[in-house]
Amino acid sequence: MAYQEQLDLLTAGRGTYNITKDVQKVVAASNVITGLCHVFVKHTSASLILCENADPTVRSDLERFMINLVPDGSPLFRHIDEGDDDMPAHIRSILTNMDLTLPVNHRMLKLGTWQGI
């Protein structure tokens, strides 16, 4: 059985957003008992990560790490069509994931205790 649904999520700009509950609602509605949930983001400067979800400092630490790794406004980049954060956002999305494949069991995402999308 295959099931597909599109989620449209509004954000307030750069940052990390917990979308675990949104994805779980789709999985529950799908009636898929056992299988895989494939999540794909259709944006060139956004990505998906599966990481620690209990402590919010993990996500803020990740954000600071990425800013340090690929700084905005670097003279290295010529692609600045949408601002000095444009090319760094593309690189950060390439370094993480555009998609995730997650196990499903009994209509539930089978994530680790502290994992979140």
3-state SS, one letter per residue, for 8-68: CCCCCCCCCCCCHHHHHHHHHHHCCCEEEEEEECCCCCCCECCEECCCHHHHHHHHHHHHH
**Residue 1 has what pLDDT?**
74
Residue 35: inside a domain: yes
Residue 82: inside a domain: yes
Q: How many structural domains compose the chain?
A: 1
Residue 59: inside a domain: yes
Q: What is the pLDDT of residues 26-62, one digit of tens each?
A: 999 999 999 999 999 999 999 999 999 999 899 999 9
Q: What is the pLDDT of residues 75-102, one digit of tens each?
A: 999 998 898 999 999 999 999 999 999 9
| Residue owning tokens 């990505």 | 47
Residue 1: inside a domain: no
Residue 3: inside a domain: no
pTM of structure: 0.90
Nearest-10 crossing angle of helices 86-95, 56-69: 120
**Residue 60 has what pLDDT?**
94
**Residue 36 has what pLDDT?**
97
Residue 7: inside a domain: no
Domain that holds residue 61: 20-116
Residue 33: inside a domain: yes
CATH number of the domain at 26, please.
2.60.120.460
- Segment 104-115 mean pLDDT: 96
Position 109 confidence tier, pLDDT thresholds 50, 70, 90:
very high
19 vs 3, which has greater pLDDT? 19
Residue 70: inside a domain: yes
